[in-house]
C-alpha cells in the first residue's frame, strides 16, 4: 500500500474511531511516518561476522518464520514487554506486565489496511480484547473472550451487556465439578435471581454480585430480588 493511501486510511480510522467514541487511549497509532522493516533482516543486521550480537543491544527482535516481527517483544535488560506490528512499528510501549498483543495488533492492522470489516476492536487496559464490541455496520454487539473468541450465543443487536456472557462461557468451557455458572438474560445482563444447583439461590445486581442471603432453590420465589 502506498504511503498516501496508508496515511489516508489511518486518518480515516482515527476519525471513525473518534466519531464512534470507541477509541482506546492505550493502544497508540505510531505518531511518526510508518516505517516498515523486515524482522529477519533487522536481526541479522545486529549480528557480527561470527553471528554474535553485542551485549549492549537493548532489543533483540523476535521474528516469526515468515520474517515478520512476533507480536510480543521484550527489552533485553529490563525484561519489559511491548507490542509491535508485523513490520516493526511499536504499538504498545514497554510494560511491566503484558500478557497479550493480539488486540493491539488487530486494531493496528485494521487502521493500516483500512479494512474495518464493520468495526475496530477495542482493547482493555491490560491489552486483551475488551469484552463488549459494537459493530456499527450491523448494529450488533459482540461479546468477546479476552483472547478474542466471539461468544456466538451472546452476539447480536439484542445484546446490551457482556460481563455475564464472558463468565458464563468461561464456566462452560472449563467445567469444574460443582462450578457455578451464572445465568444471563438473552440480552447479556445477569438474571436477578442466580442459582447454584444444590447450593441455593440469591439476588444479584447488574454486575452479577450477590446482594442477598442465599435461600434453598425450593424457596427462590421468596427472594426479594428486583
Interface ranges with ligand NAG (CB under 6 A): 38, 40-41, 54, 56-57, 66-68, 138-139
Of the pair 78, 138, the CB lying nearest ligand NAG is at: 138
Signed CA dihedral, 135, 93, 84, 75: sign only: negative
CA–CA separation, 159 and 165 (whole Å): 10
Least distance from C-beta 28 to ligand NAG, angstroms? 23
Q: Which is nearer to ligand NAG, 51 or 198 (CB)?
A: 51
Minimum distance between the CB of residue 36 and ligand NAG, rounded to whole angstroms?
9
- Minimum Å gap between C-beta 45 and ligand NAG is 11
Buried b (16+ CB within 10 A) or exposed e, 72-108: bbbeeeeeebbbbbbebbbbbebeeebebbbbbbbbb
Nearer to ligand NAG, 77 or 179 (CB): 77
The answer to whether the CB of 192 falls within 8 A of the CB of 164 is no
Instruction: Give the total residue count for the chain.
Output: 226
Q: What is the SS3 assignment for 43?
A: helix
In the complex, what is the shortest distance from the CB of residue 43 to ligand NAG, in angstroms, rounded to a whole number? 10
> Whose Cβ is closer to ligand NAG: residue 11's or residue 46's?
46
CB of 193 to ligand NAG, least distance (A): 32
Distance CA 36, CA 207 (A): 44
In the bound state with ligand NAG, the residue whose beta carbon lies nearer, of 3 and 211, is 3
| Residue with smallest beta-carbon separation from ligand NAG | 67
Number of other residues whose CB lies within 10 A of the CB of residue 152: 10
Amino acid at each position: 500500500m502506498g504511503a498516501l493511501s496508508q496515511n489516508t486510511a489511518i486518518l480515516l480510522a482515527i476519525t471513525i474511531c473518534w466519531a464512534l467514541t470507541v477509541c482506546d487511549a492505550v493502544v497508540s497509532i505510531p505518531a511518526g511516518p510508518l516505517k516498515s522493516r523486515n524482522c529477519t533482516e533487522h536481526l541479522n543486521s545486529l549480528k557480527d561476522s561470527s553471528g554474535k550480537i553485542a551485549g549492549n543491544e537493548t532489543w533483540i527482535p523476535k521474528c516469526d518464520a515468515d520474517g515478520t516481527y512476533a507480536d510480543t517483544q521484550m527489552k533485553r535488560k529490563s525484561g519489559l514487554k511491548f507490542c509491535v506490528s508485523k513490520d516493526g512499528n511499536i504499538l504498545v510501549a514497554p510494560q511491566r506486565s503484558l500478557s497479550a498483543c493480539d488486540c493491539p495488533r488487530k486494531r493496528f492492522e485494521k487502521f493500516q489496511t483500512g479494512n474495518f470489516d464493520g468495526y475496530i476492536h477495542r482493547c482493555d487496559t491490560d491489552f486483551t480484547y475488551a469484552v463488549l464490541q459494537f459493530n456499527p455496520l450491523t448494529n450488533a454487539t459482540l461479546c468477546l473472550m479476552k483472547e478474542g473468541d466471539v461468544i456466538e450465543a451472546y452476539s447480536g443487536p439484542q445484546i446490551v451487556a457482556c460481563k455475564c456472557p464472558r463468565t458464563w462461557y468461561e464456566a462452560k468451557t472449563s467445567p469444574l465439578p460443582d462450578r457455578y455458572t451464572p445465568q444471563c438474560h438473552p440480552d447479556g445482563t445477569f438474571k436477578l435471581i442466580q442459582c447454584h444447583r444444590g447450593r441455593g439461590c440469591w439476588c444479584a445486581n447488574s454486575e452479577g454480585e450477590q446482594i442477598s442471603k442465599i435461600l434453598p432453590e425450593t424457596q427462590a420465589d421468596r427472594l426479594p430480588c428486583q
